[in-house]
Chain A
Amino acid sequence: MIWGVLQFPGSCDERDALHACEVHGDGARLLWHESRDLDGVDGVVVPGGFSYGDYLRAGAIARFSPAMEAVAEAAAGGMPVLGICNGFQVLCEAGLLPGALLRNVELRFRCHQVELIEEGTGERLSIPAKHGEGRYYAPDALLDEMETNGQIAYRYAEGHNSNGSVRDIAGVTNERGNVLGLMPHPEHAVDPLTGSTDGLRVFERMSGVAA
């Protein structure tokens, strides 16, 4: 599987994501925000960072980029799209995922290792989280519908929901399941030297969508 990683001005984790994609897949390349051409990739990562500075609202400007228009079209065709942190915020702003990300309940940026539980399999993953606006929110009725559709991908394990996300939600998918967004950073968990390799499970899940 060949991955493309979007690069906006203000992206921070695009090189980390590129590296993680190289570790996991058959290759990876950066995709410039101004281009509508996805360069023949099989899946896209919308990486973390502060796209366009995020001075208005996290992800609010990036969703209008030419590259995101192309990603929306590809997602509608079933291409795997993984949004991490700011990428999750961009996908929510773009309407590719339901819900929104609000400021952390403690109103501070926080960087720490968290444990996630994959919905369905119950698998426990140790992955770092680092954000100031990661409190997932959606109205109750929508959440109920998402639960029924199996759109909750990951929840924070007990004691790990430090941002105040509703129903401990850390990551969600679209109805079809090919678009996944999560706040924690699987791309920072692909090397035992820097912490853990549990992040690779998230990339494997996405390549499963492709197959």
Chain B
Amino acid sequence: MDTPKYRELGLTDSEYELIVEKLGREPNDVELAMFSLLWSEHCAYKHSRKLLGKLPTDGPRVVMGPGENAGAVDVGSGYAVAFKVESHNHPSAVEPFQGAATGVGGIMRDVFAIGARPIALLDSLRFGELDSVRSRHLLDGAVRGIGHYGNSIGVATVGGEIYFEEPYEHNCLVNAMCIGFAKTEDMVRAAAAGPGNSVVLMGASTGRDGIGGASVLASAELGEGDEAKRPTVQIGDPFEESKLLECCLELLEKGLLVSLQDLGAAGLTSSAGEMASAGGVGIEIDVAKVPLREADMEPFEIMVSESQERMLAVVEPARVEEVRAICEKWQTASAEIGKVTEDGLVRILRDDETVGEMPVEALVDGCPLYDLEPAEPEEWIYGNRATLEAGASPEEELLSLLSSPNIASKRWAFEQYDYLVGSRTVRRPEQADAAVLQLPEAGNAIAVSIDGNGRRVACDPYLGTIDAVLECAQNLACVGAEPLGLTNCLNFGNPEKPAGAWQLDQAVSGLADACNALGVPVVGGNVSLYNEGPDGPIYPTPVVALVGELPDPEQVAGSGFARDGDAIGLIGPFEPSLAASELAKQRGELKMGLPRPDVEAVARACEIVRDAVRAGKLSSAHDVSDGGLAVALAESAIAGGIGCEVNVEHLRERGAQPEEALFGEGPGGFVVSGERGALEELGATLLGKVGGDRIEIGAGDHSLGVSLADAASAFHSLPAQVEPEAS
């Protein structure tokens, strides 16, 4: 017997039975396609929603929380900053350029859907090791794709992070973040309202691109042949989106829309269903009125198409003509494709014929939610090749860490992005630990950082996730910013496997506990599960992003040493450990386990550094992260173009052996420079001073010294690793 269609579409037997029960009959192909998408993990969060309830979402500055197209926080003077991160992992693994480009396009639509003008983009990327041709291809394609879309649409790409680890070899991660800026009173929600109002589809025409899982239905109808292998990766058109963006913002500014929603995953099905669900109304869509790229598309194809650069609006009938006129001004197509109803049904018509009819509640909120069955693996489940020879000297270890693509300068990537457009960029990539954007309209500035070291999370999903949040908070503190809200993208493996379930469960608990301890609300998030390749799952990778506020963009520290003769100090409860460190990775010594940080103490250290930066007391501030204290010192020296002479033996008092003091990692450490008296007042452990053209670090029998030039050359070695054929 043939496999039933519903199973090929990813529904289980019991889910299908539930659909039949809710409809009181078997679904037809249109309905089956729509249910299969909205009841997918991607749309229904069926394996993660119960866990996500743990996250704190309230706060005095929250303007919009989870459930809206993007979260938003109040930045004062009547303005809000909206932000969201979303994954585009699987499309990018198939076709990195278009996958990454449409990831950027999609996240921008989420932000302007709530009426905020996109002002910045960041990206969090993960690939396999650079000695793999496939990883270099994916990296090059993803970076070009991000640049292509972001540069062309004129939104600055101001920051991000890239890690290279074996478990991402087959399943790279491309997470894109967009930040928008709006007058709070102009923002809109996605809820449809007012039965009788028109539903207007704007933007690109609808084609067969990105039909995804529903191609099972297509192939069943078309029979055997090439048609079955339709491209499932969408193609991005930043020019179309640029017009659509300006058009939507003008429509909102003129108050012509009741609500607005972008078309992302599951296309019209998802946006129409979610708008109706949020508004507690019904919605009717006539697929015959949807502008098509190909004339002979089936109703289900039109409903599930993921063609890019489309938005759905609810408009009062009397305003439709005005809306269409503004669309024409921006050369954006628009079509009235349906109306809001009061019967609580999603009804799909083709001309006068009803081709699908489902209760909104069943379609959008009816998917069963599952409990995970977590079990902690008994040992390290990932591989770990040693790449550093045993017996390497401390100098060799430092240079090897600086040239690790995880630590080395990412200038090769970020110079392919326009990080200036908009004239808000006060700190460019790598000038400081967080990107800083001025908001002249509100009279202040925001800082943004995005972080998520999957290796630490693999070693301990609970503590590793706490560490990711702390690192992000520390990055903000370094530029004098106070966190206002957090968003995240949870990239994990298969939650139906016990180890994957355990990683996800632990990570969400860590995220919740860290946010509670820091008093930061989670205003939105995204979940990407089933990230596995033939060799197993990816490192569990919760990518977290914090947006913070700083009152005065004139008072922002950089990460580089700035003045000959400045004292160098260490602030914070930093307790270095080689567990999960870059050095442990290079030595092939990774295993389970992380030390437990004192979150309250780290939070206090963040406040001390933040206040000192705001008061202009520091010449530089940089958090201790990958590669430990020696690498942080070297990075500050390279960024400032001036050397340093320090001694880290004080860390013995914290129980650290010399090697751990140099290269051990963990949250809570800040390398700062400034007047000696100022550092003493802050309670910093004095390490030495800025000056010379060498990096000299006393560490007992592990003392090391390298020239600034050699360190810089290692730190800037990424281009040669990315394009070995060119060098």
A interface, by DSSP: helix, strand, loop or mixed?
mixed
Contact across chains for B415 and A52 when beta carbons are under 8 A apart? no
B143: nearest residue on chain A (CB-CB)?
Answer: A108
Report B464 CB to chain A, min CB distance, Å. Answer: 33
A128: nearest residue on chain B (CB-CB)?
Answer: B420
Q: Given A188-B420, A193-B554, does the pair A12, B243 have CB atoms closer than 8 Å?
A: no
Mask of A95-118 contacts with B, CB within 8 angstroms, 1/0: 000000000000011111000000
Collect the chain B residues with CB atoms within 8 Å of residue A9's CB.
239, 242-243, 246, 330-331
User: Does A171 belong to the interface (CB within 8 Å)?
Assistant: no
* Contacting residues of chain A (1-57) with chain B, CB-CB under 8 angstroms: 9-13, 15-16, 19, 48-50, 52-55
Contact across chains for A10 and B239 when beta carbons are under 8 A apart? yes
Contact across chains for B415 and A110 when beta carbons are under 8 A apart? yes
Give Cα A55 to B238, complex, Å.
11
- Given A109, A188, A191, which contacts B151 in the complex, CB threshold below 8 Å? A109
Mask of A50-94 contacts with B, CB within 8 angstroms, 1/0: 101111000000000000000000000000000000000000000
Q: Given A108-B416, A109-B151, A111-B416, does the pair A52, B422 have CB atoms closer than 8 Å?
A: no
User: Does A185 belong to the interface (CB within 8 Å)?
Assistant: yes
Stretch from B423-431, B568-576, B609-617 forming part of the interface with A:
B423-431
Give Cα A107 to B344, complex, Å.
54
Q: Given A10-B239, A53-B239, A55-B239, does the pair A194, B152 have CB atoms closer than 8 Å?
A: no
User: Does A130 belong to the interface (CB within 8 Å)?
Assistant: yes
Residue of B420, B421, B424 with highest tally of chain A CB at under 10 A: B420
Contact across chains for B426 and A12 when beta carbons are under 8 A apart? no
Report B555 CB to chain A, min CB distance, Å. Answer: 11
Chain B contributes a number of interface residues (CB within 8 A of A) equal to 32
Contact across chains for B420 and A194 when beta carbons are under 8 A apart? yes
- Given A12, A15, A50, A112, which contacts B415 in the complex, CB threshold below 8 Å? A112
Q: Given A55-B239, A194-B424, A194-B425, does the pair A49, B154 have CB atoms closer than 8 Å?
A: yes
Residue of B144, B147, B151, B421 with highest tally of chain A CB at under 10 A: B421
Report A13 CB to chain B, min CB distance, Å. Answer: 6
Report B444 CB to chain A, min CB distance, Å. Answer: 12
* Contacting residues of chain B (413-457) with chain A, CB-CB under 8 angstroms: 414-426, 428, 438
Contact across chains for B239 and A110 when beta carbons are under 8 A apart? no
Collect the chain B residues with CB atoms within 8 Å of residue A130's CB.
151, 418, 420-421
Q: Given A15-B422, A188-B423, A194-B438, does the pair A50, B152 have CB atoms closer than 8 Å?
A: yes
Looking at chain A, what size class is its interface with the partner chain? Answer: 20 to 34
Give Cα A195 to B436, complex, Å.
13
Give Cα A130 to B155, complex, Å.
13
User: Does B105 belong to the interface (CB within 8 Å)?
Assistant: no
A34: nearest residue on chain B (CB-CB)?
Answer: B329
B429: nearest residue on chain A (CB-CB)?
Answer: A111
Mask of B210-249 contacts with A, CB within 8 angstroms, 1/0: 0000000000000000000000000001111011001000
User: Does B153 belong to the interface (CB within 8 Å)?
Assistant: yes
Q: Given A9-B330, A52-B239, does the pair A110, B422 have CB atoms closer than 8 Å?
A: no
Report B91 CB to chain A, min CB distance, Å. Answer: 22
Give Cα A13 to B438, complex, Å.
17
Give Cα A128 to B418, complex, Å.
10
B330: nearest residue on chain A (CB-CB)?
Answer: A9
Contact across chains for A50 and B423 when beta carbons are under 8 A apart? no
B247: nearest residue on chain A (CB-CB)?
Answer: A9
Collect the chain A residues with CB atoms within 8 Å of residue B668's CB.
none
A19: nearest residue on chain B (CB-CB)?
Answer: B423
Mask of B145-164 contacts with A, CB within 8 angstroms, 1/0: 00100011110000000000
User: Does B553 belong to the interface (CB within 8 Å)?
Assistant: yes
Contact across chains for B242 and A194 when beta carbons are under 8 A apart? no
Give Cα A53 to B242, complex, Å.
9
Report B416 CB to chain A, min CB distance, Å. Answer: 5
Contact across chains for A194 and B426 when beta carbons are under 8 A apart? yes
Collect the chain A residues with CB atoms within 8 Å of residue B553's CB.
193
Collect the chain A residues with CB atoms within 8 Å of residue B415's CB.
110-112
Residue of A49, A54, A108, A111 with highest tally of chain B CB at under 10 A: A111
Mask of B93-115 contacts with A, CB within 8 angstroms, 1/0: 00000000000000000000000
Contact across chains for A50 and B239 when beta carbons are under 8 A apart? yes
Contact across chains for A111 and B419 when beta carbons are under 8 A apart? yes
User: Which 6 pairs between the two chains have the least Cβ-Cβ distance?
Assistant: A12-B154, A53-B239, A50-B152, A16-B423, A188-B420, A130-B418
